[in-house]
Structures are given as structure tokens and as C-alpha cells.
A and B are shown apart, each in its own frame.
Chain A
Amino acid sequence: MNKTLRKWRSCLWILALSPVLQLQAQPADDESTPWFQQTTDTGKYAVILTGAAASDEIAERFARWTRELHNILRDDYGYATDNIRVLIDDGQRMEGVTVTASSTLTDIADSLSVLRGEIGAGDQVTLFMIGHGSGTFGEAKFNNVGPDMTGADLAAMLEGFTEQDMVIVNTTSASFEFSRELSALGRVVVSATRSPSERYDPVFAGFMIAGLQDHTADLDRNGRVSVLELFNYTTGRVAAWYDDLGRLATENAVLDDTGDGLFSREPGATQADGLLAEIAYIDVIVPEAEKSSPQAQALRAEMQALERDIFILRNQKQNYLEDDYWSRLEALLIDLATRTRTYNALP
């Protein structure tokens, strides 16, 4: 496990490049992670699992979130309609959304089985769970119509997705124990809560959808939203929401992407978790028009090299004196900015 982790860290500078440059980045085989190596050929699928609601008002909220999420993925993130599977409550019709099935245990199992047969190696599946959860230690459940689905049930259903990249975002109450069952190597798992005692309905899903809307959560302005960015944006908004109301937060989201079942509250470069989530993008990668002149291609290669140098420097920040770090970074950034300006001016 540690060995794998070190490999991820060492190759991060390549994997985290900007979208344009990433398409051309060719990390050395011995340095690359086997997960989330995304290209324009990578197929992206989303499964939205929406459970039963405790009241009409909550049902309306779950349905709204489901619809908004579906539409955002379709309209802003490049997902083909067929690649978004919506399994909701008892399978009722939703205006503007093709509902695949209900969210009964059987339908979930069947739908995932069908999906597994349709997708190829290297494709990415993002599973969003909306609804109520419940559970005590070792017995966490997703409250769906019919027998509730346990974390172990879903983990078993996902066992067949061995060749795909998997992201699971569980926004339900008391979701932690359930989510922990889903941890696996190469998988990014987000839980809206960090303990079974956080059993009030979270507001996480609403802010997550707001973060996806208009790419608001794209904090590094590279045009795409990574799972880590989405997590950080959403947790920040959730905390602010509780703060504004003067209430103690009854939900604290966590993330695990090392497969060890140990989740982090603040994943990122200095934490065990976060490195995979940083390169796991929600967006479908679409090819961009490239400038074909030799000068443009040369400049592009130089920009790519500069960007790589910036990432290396940033990841080694702690090894430099403060002034030295900023001085080096400034030189690289000025160089990159100058070349970007020149590149943009080329026909």
C-alpha cells in the first residue's frame, strides 16, 4: 500500500496537468497510476441512486436534486443521456429525465449488472447516492423501496467493475459506515458524514450540485472539476451554512481514495487521501482544436514543460525557503504566462 502511495505522489505532476496538456502528457509506464488515466476515449458513466423519502416535501427535494444533477451532467459535463442511469424511489416518471428503474435492491443490482456489460476497460463510473441512510456500527443501510440496501450489498454489486475507475459520492444521512464498506484500491469514495451518529439529513447534496453548476467548484480554473475540488468546495459551503445559522454542524464529509477505509476530513497534498481524487475529474474529456503550426506546437511543448516544473516545485514547497520558493515560482509563472500569451496570439 505504501509503495503504491509513493508512486502516486511521484507522478502527480503529470496527472494533474491542465486539460489541454494532459491529453498529450505521456507519463512513463513505471511511474503511472493504473487509475483515472483519462483521454478523449475514456467513457464516462453516471449512476444516480435516489432512495425513498420520509415525506412528500423531502421526496420533492430528492427529485429536484436528481433532476438537477442529471441535467448538469448532461448539459455541462458532456455525459451522453444514455450514459446517465437514474434509479429513483419506485421508478416514477420524471419530466425531462429518462428514469432507468426504481431503486429497489433488485433493480439496482440488475442495472449495475447491465452497465457492467456495456462499458469498457478504463471507463469511469460515478455513482451518486441521494436519500436517507441509517445505521449503527456494522449495519449501515441505504433507505430504498423494499428491503434496504446495505453497504455490503452494494460493495458486492460493484465487485465486477475491476477494469473501470470508480467514484462513489454518498450524500445520505449516517452514510459513513455504508461508505466504508465501499472503500477499495483505486476507488474514490466520498461520504457526507463521518460517523453513524450524524443521522440528520445532510445538506451536502444541494451544495455539491451548486458546485457542479457552471463549474463553480473549478477552483484551479483549469476548466474541469475534480472530485477533490468538488469535495473541498462542498464541505466549505456546508460549514459556512451551519455557521451562518449559528448551528453546530451535524454533518462532516470525509473522503477516502487509498482504499484503506480510513477517511480524511481535509484530503489534499499533505494528507493520505486526496491524490487520486485530485485527478478524478467529473467532466467527460472532449478534444480541443489545436494549433498546427510548428511554432505553436513547439510553444505548446514548452508550456507543458513549464507547467510540469511548476507542479514539481509546488509539491516540494516545504523544501524551500519562503522567499526562494516564491522567487522560483514567479519566474516559472511569468515564463508560462508569456508563452501562453504568445501561443494565443498565433493563428
Chain B
Amino acid sequence: MHYLNLISLNWLRTAALLVCLTATVAPAHIFAQEPTAGLNPSTQELLDRGNELLLRGSYLAAIEVLSRVDDEFFQDQADLGLSQAHIETGQYAQAEAVLQRALEEPADHPELATRLAELYVMTGRSAQAEALLAEVIAGQLNPPVRTLVQYGLVRTLHGDRDAADEYFNAALARYDSGMVFESADVAMVAVAARQLDEFHDANALFSEAIRLDDSNLEALVLWGDLFQEKFNDQDAQTNYNEALEVNRRYAPALVGLARIESPERNLSRALDANSRSVAALATFGELMIRNGREEEGLGFLRQALDINPESIPALATLAARAAMNDDMDEFERLRERVNAFSPESASFYASVAEFLGNNYRFTEAVEYARRAIDRDPRNWHAHTVLGGNLVRLGEESEGKRHLEQAFDNDPFNVLTSNMLQVFDVLEEYATLESEHFRVNMSQRDAQILWPYMEPLLEDGWDRLVAKYGFEPEVPVVIQVFERTEDFAVRSVGLPDIGPLVGICFGKVVTLISPDTLSANWQEIVWHELVHVFTLQMTHNRMPRWLSEGISTWEERQGRPEWGRRQGLDLIRAVQQDRLLPVGNLNDAFTGANSNADLSFAYFQSFLVVEYIAEQYGFEDLLALIHEFAEIKDESEMFANVFGVDMETFDAGFRAWIDQRVADINVYVHAEDSPDEGEGHGHGVRENSSAILAELYNNESLKQYMQGRVQREPRDFQAHLQLGIVLFREEAYSEAITHLRTAHELLPDYTGYPSPSLVLAQVYEAMGNEEAQREQLAIMLEHQQHDFAAPLQLAEHALQVGDLDQAAYYVERAMAVNPYRPEVHRLGAELASRQGDTGRTVQEYEVLLTLDQNDPVAARTDLAQAYLDNSQPDDARMTVLRALETAPTYERAQQILLQAVEPAEGD
């Protein structure tokens, strides 16, 4: 005590108060867990215990303990802890009451005053906060670091960035002079560094703060926020989890974690701890609105704004929603509301831009991102948002420029650097142009895929322009990525995109190269191309369910074998009452928890569109699309087009579905597994029950299935599995009976294996090649993703001289896998026999890329094709390369002489 008296009281107070600032300070081991039995605890013991309870999230107990401190010397420390406990539980008024004492002489209680100012900001009184902090700073020779930083943050909020920077620099200078010791203060210096765009320093300072005190929850979360701001979710997640290990009720950490994983669960936990957490409410509100749960979202946002009328995230979400709905009066009202405390806030505009971009409104997103940058050219996040949205509009060079600018000044932003890396990938890619498209793809795909993609695109364009009476803005940009990660980054900025294989942004389409898929790539291209039309027709305002529904419906219109046939899924969904009302169909996409859910969302959307086309006609579907060009209530649009309200429309749709189920008329056993396929719905869907039957030759399975068939003669799955088991027992005749029954029950079944596929295998085993081919042909009427069957049928058709059939099946094989040399060998032979010298050249050109086993033969064949196609110069150069390896190869020598002879005769 005597020693304490020797020290400046002011310094002591400062040191003591800093220790309590974030309730995270004292090492855990010094805290007593229980009061000393039989004795009254000392003030220090009360403080220690209260702070420990606060740190661990026992807020009410902390309030009780800290309230018992009655010692003038320790009062500020106790009040800081007490106010913190109130804040963590949303008792802002109580917190404010505790801190009121600071108002008498703010400079004498700088930490209390600073905490009060922070509370003012939290509750929408930033002007009062600024005044209070200014008073503290004016009254102190060396104001606390926290005061400087909080003052800078308020000045930033108020749009005075230059003034704010002065205080952030002052905090950094304090650190540079060696006068910052405590973890909490180091974290505040880190915040200042972050505000000055010194991201590297901010990172190092947060690291130092945690090294000084690994229980500094505030620092852990602020550091996590910095990581998250840079889209480094992994490190952010680590930080949030470390904070939650100390205090599982720490709302700021739960809110941060919610932005990365299990959003609803973590936000609910945050609100359990602090039902008035503005950050949790605003984040929940945005989440709900993003997921189409508008009313719930608005409720959360209203609560957030009731507590903090100056919450920019909440106001920005509301403003973005208003902009989405073309409600510019509401937008202006909200903008004015922000302007009242934060004039022309760059972060407000950047948030609006980001929201709009995430909702496909790229043009408007660009506009708002530009406004953010006009206001604050140093808002690198806005540059990233602008760059990303420009890229989605096909404005590559300007987009890249903004991304580079963002990266140069903020190199830690993972999203920015990812997107720029994709530009590096694209630089190596070929750029190809047709009449309406500009396409980027790898050099390999340019050689192999483009010759077949170009006619598909242009044919699709012509048909869809004629059908929809609309010509999209050109050129449509299509980018085909070899690496899934590049596709994902180009599409969403980050390398994980789930099961998607193609995304349309309106003017820009991104695709995964078919080389990495086992699916009909032509159907995927067609599907995305339809999106180009529907999105552009509605200025990207069409809801996802309808856009996907139309694209999926158009698959079937494109080729008879395309499209989805999920009859069993439909029956199962009706049995389980899983069909959603049309008005809620978007939820099927946003709320999908599995690939199967997502796949069914596509399928139900398709069914609605098919219902419209069948019952009302294509013209009404077209009218509905045009309705979506304007922002209106969905029920109003449906009433305008179909003359009925949504409920009546839904009832009609359900009746139509019931009739469809009745028409299918197949029994679906509750125990059977649904077919499994990719969530995007393109590709083979596996019938896992039937695959098991393929693997096991099981007597009990046979008896069980026979029993099912006796009970339910229309049990498709039972007939199929019986057929498979009997086939494996080589009981061919019985197998054929059951497989034919299964096929008759559900002739368009496309799962793997299908009855016709197994029948083909049965006939193959029996040596009946003709019947085998017949079954393969039947299978291919509906199964579009098979490569081997069309190849086999094309080969046979060529053998028997049926060139039309050969051409059809070569095309079918090419639509699945154009990367296999055998399909091009058949294609070359076919083209040659058809006298199509141009196509022959094309096939041999592709073969030269694909078949590296015999380059001399490949080059010689290609040279011959060039010669036949009156391309002697190409023939000459190609055969020279063959002869370089094989100079005595006489067939090549003859081609060379033929190629040069006309020139010699000239």
C-alpha cells in the first residue's frame, strides 16, 4: 500500500481500468472460483471473481458480484465490468446508468466515458458519442488509446475520414513510442491500423494482442472480423471458435461464426445470449431477406433499428431491398436517414451494391459501387464489389482494373486475389467468337470442344430468338473452365460452389469444362443459354424458381432425349406431401439441405412451367416472363396472366400433378431409396437399390421382391430388381419377363440401371446382338448421359452402311464425351463416307489433339483429309511433320507430292 501511494494515482487508475476494459484481461489462474468460506471477500476478490464470470459468459452472476463492489478506489473498474455485463445481455439502459457517473467529469474517468461513448454508438447516438469523446480527448494530455481509436471510428462514421485518420495515426504513434502495453490497447491499435489500410500491421498487432492475452475475446473477434472481411473464412472461424471456447455465449463471436457456418443456429445462439444484439439482428434480417423470408427479415431489421437507428448494415439491407423492388422513394428515404449521421456513406453504398450483386442485379450493383468509390476512393471493398460485378456484366477490362486496384491496396483480400488469379488463367485460354458469342476456353477445349459447341450455340440462339421474340444483348460471353476451382471463383469469388456446373449471369455464362463431367454437356449449355434469354428479358428480375423451371423445361424442347424424367420422385414427393406451393418455390432452392432437395427443386419448378405450357399455352408463359420485367407482387402477376389468384393456380397445379401421378400409375414402395444424382440435375441418377441387386445374387432378396410383386403388380422397382437378380442367376427368360414389365410400367425411366439397359445385358449374355442393340436404342430414347451405347450403335450402323443412324449416334456420343478418340475415329469415317470433307478434317484435327499414341498416323490421316478438302497448304505442313519422324513412310510421301504438285504446275 505504501508502495502504491508512491505512484501517480492517475496512472494507477488508468492501468487498472485498462485491465478491465474488455472483461477479458486478468489471467484465469488468479481468479478465485468461490468466495473464501466463512469470510467476506475483499474488493479485489470481488473484482476478480466478477471479471472471471464476465469472461466466461455468466453475465447475471457477474452483475451480481460486481454490483457488490463498494470501494471508491476500485469503482471505475467495477463499473466497467458491470456495464460490459449489461451490454453483453442487451441491457443497454442499465449499462448507461452505470456509466452516467462519467458524465460529471469525463476527463477524470476517460475509460468510463469512452465506454459510454461506445454505448451511444451502439444505440444510435453517434453525435453524442463524438461530443463525449472529444471532451475526453480535450481534457487529457495523453488520452487512452481506446479513446483515440473510438473517436476515429465515430469521425469515420460521420464521414470525416481525414480527421479520423489523425486519431488513428495518434494511436499508432503511441504504440511506436513504446507506450502501449496491454492486450486490449494493442488490439485497439490494430483497429487503427486496419482503418488506415495497414492490413499487414493490423494482423501483426492482433497477433501480439492475443499473444499478450489469449483470452482477449474482443481482440479475437475483431481479428476474426478482419480475416472475414478478407474472405479468409478459415482463419476467421478459428478465431471465433477460440473465443467461444472461453465464452460460448459471446454474441460477437457467434455473429461472426454465423456468417461462415450454420447461420440460423449461431444467430439464434447469439440472440439467446443477447436478444438485443444489433449485429445479430441485422445479420439475421439480411439472411432472412436473402432467403426470401421477407417478413421475418423485416422483423429482425426493425428490431435492430429500434435499438440502433444508425445501424448502417440494417439500413443498407433495407435500402438494397427497396432498390431490388424499384421502390426508389423508399430507397431515398433510407439514404437520407443515413445521410443524417453519415453523409453519402461509402460503406452504405458498398453494402447495397454487394446485396444487389448477390441477387443478380449487376447493373444496379455497379452503379452503387461506383457511388461508394466516388465518395471514398479508398474503399477497397467497393472496388472489389465493382470489379466483380463488372466481370459478371462482361466488362472484363474495367472489372479487372478495379480488382487490381483493390488488390494493390488490400492484398489480403482472398476474394480479390482469387478473381485476379482467374484472369491469369483466362490469359492462357483461347478466345473464340461466333456471330453472337464470345467464348473463353482452354486451348485444349478450343481444339476439341469448340467445333461442336459453336453450332450448338448458334442453333440454340436462332431457335430461342424465334420462340421468345427477343434478341439478347450480344456478344454473350461464355467462359468454360477446366478447373472446378476456377469456375467457382469466377462465378462466386470463392473456390467452393457445391454441385453447380454452369451459372448464367445474364450476359455472361460460366461453365465447367465437359472434360471433368460425366453428363450431357450440350444439355447444360442449352439450359444456361435459356437463362440468358429469360434473365435479359426481365433485366435479371426473374426469381430463381421460374428461371430454372423454364431452363429445365426447355431442355426437353431442345432434344427429345434431354430433360428430366423423375416420375418415381414425383410420386414419392406427393406421397410425402413435399410439393411446395408455387409462391414458396424459391425456398426450395435457398433451403435445400442436400443434392436431392436441390434436384427436386429444379424438377418441381420444371413441372410448374410444364403445367403452364400445357394448361395455358406458351404465350401465357411468355406473358408471365414479361410480367417479371416489372417489380410487382407475384400474385398480381399470376392474376394478370392467368386470371386466377395464387391459391387457385396452386390448386390447379396440384390437380394436374395428381392426374400426372395417376397417369404414371406406378407403385412406389416406401422402403426404396430415391435415385441419387448431382444436385444440378444434369447427369446419371443412380438407382442405389438396383445397384445393390446387381452386386448380390441373393435368394432372400428374390423372395422378398417376388412377394412385393404379388402384392403390388405395378411395383416397378421390385420388377427391376427381380430382373437383375434373375439375370445374375442366368435365368434369362424369367429375367426378361420382369424387366419388360418394369419397362412397360415406366418406359421413360432414366435411372441407372434401367430395365432396358439390363435387358441389353441379358441379350448380350444370350448372344443375341440384335436384341441387345434394340434395347440399347430403347434406353437411349430417354437416357442422354450414356456414352458406350451410342458408340456401339454408331459402330454397327457404320458397319451395315446406315449412315443416318451412324450420324445420329455419333452425335449422341459426342454430346456426352467429345474427349474420347474413338468417337472421333467413327466421326471421321462417317464424314469421309458421307463425302463431307470439311467434317472429316474437323474430326482428324481433333484426333490429332486427342490421340498421342501414333502421331505419324494421326498427321498423315489429317493431311489426307486436308488434301481432300482442297487445303493443300495445310496438307503439306501437316504431312511434313509426319515425314519428319517417318521420312520413308510412302503413304505420307504420296500426300506430300500431291499437296505440292499443283504449286509446282503453277
Contacts and interface: CB of A to CB of B under 8 A. Distances in A.
A322 to B, nearest CB: 12
Given A330-B880, A333-B880, A340 B853 contact: no
Interface size class of B (residues with CB under 8 A): 20 to 34
Interface string B592-619: 0000000000000000000000000000
B693 to A, nearest CB: 25
B856 A333 contact: no
Interface stretch (A119-127, A178-186, A217-225, A287-295): A217-225
Given A221-B856, A221-B886, A307-B887, A336 B880 contact: no
Contact of A333 (B852, B887, B890): B887
A240 B887 contact: no
Interface string A181-205: 0000000000000000000000000
Given A333-B896, A334-B900, A338-B897, A219 B880 contact: no
B883 A333 contact: yes
A250 B481 CA distance: 28
A314 interface: yes
B893 interface: yes
Interface string A301-333: 000000100110010000000000010011001
B248 to A, nearest CB: 43
Contacts of B890: 340, 344
User: Chain B binding site: helix, strand, loop or mixed by DSSP?
Assistant: helix
Nearest to B877: A326
Interface in B866-892: 876-877, 880, 883-892
Given A236-B852, A240-B853, A333-B880, A220 B897 contact: no
Contact of A219 (B856, B894, B896, B897): B856
Q: Choose among B877, B891, B894, B896 the residue with the greatest number of A CB atoms under 10 Å from its CB.
A: B896
A310 B887 contact: yes
A340 B897 CA distance: 11
Given A219-B886, A307-B887, A340-B888, A237 B900 contact: no
A48 B894 CA distance: 40
A219 B885 contact: yes
Contact of A236 (B853, B885, B896): B853
A333 B877 CA distance: 12
Interface residues of A, number: 25
Given A236-B852, A326-B880, A333-B880, A222 B897 contact: no
B887 A336 contact: yes
A343 B888 CA distance: 13
A158 B302 CA distance: 91
Contact of B897 (A216, A326, A329, A337): A337
A337 B887 CA distance: 8
A233 interface: yes
A334 B897 contact: yes
A338 B853 CA distance: 29
B855 A219 contact: yes
A337 to B, nearest CB: 4
Contacts, number: 64
Contacts of A219: 854-856, 885-886
A334 B856 CA distance: 17
A71 interface: no
A3 interface: no
Nearest to A338: B897
Contacts of B896: 333-334, 337
Contacts of A338: 897
A340 B895 CA distance: 13
A247 interface: no
Q: Choose among B853, B877, B894 the residue with the greatest number of A CB atoms under 10 Å from its CB.
A: B853
Contacts of B893: 333, 336-337, 340-341
B884 A222 contact: no
Contacts of B883: 329, 333, 337
A134 B652 CA distance: 72
Contact of B884 (A307, A329, A334, A340): A329
Q: Choose among B852, B876, B884 the residue with the greatest number of A CB atoms under 10 Å from its CB.
A: B884
Given A336-B893, A340-B893, A341-B893, A314 B884 contact: yes
Given A326-B880, A337-B897, A18 B853 contact: no
B882 to A, nearest CB: 9
B897 A341 contact: yes
A212 to B, nearest CB: 14
A237 B896 CA distance: 29
Contacts of A337: 883, 893-894, 896-897
B880 A329 contact: yes
A132 B896 CA distance: 48
18 contacts: A18-B887, A219-B856, A220-B886, A221-B888, A221-B889, A221-B892, A240-B853, A307-B887, A326-B880, A329-B880, A333-B880, A333-B883, A333-B887, A334-B896, A334-B897, A336-B887, A340-B890, A341-B897
Interface of A: 18, 216, 219-222, 233, 236-237, 240, 307, 310-311, 314, 326, 329-330, 333-334, 336-338, 340-341, 344
Q: Which are the 6 A-B pairs with shortest beta-carbon distances? A: A337-B893, A221-B889, A221-B886, A220-B886, A18-B888, A310-B887
Given A240-B853, A333-B880, 17 more contacts: A216-B854, A219-B856, A219-B886, A220-B885, A221-B888, A222-B886, A222-B888, A233-B853, A236-B853, A237-B853, A307-B887, A314-B884, A326-B880, A329-B883, A330-B880, A333-B883, A337-B896
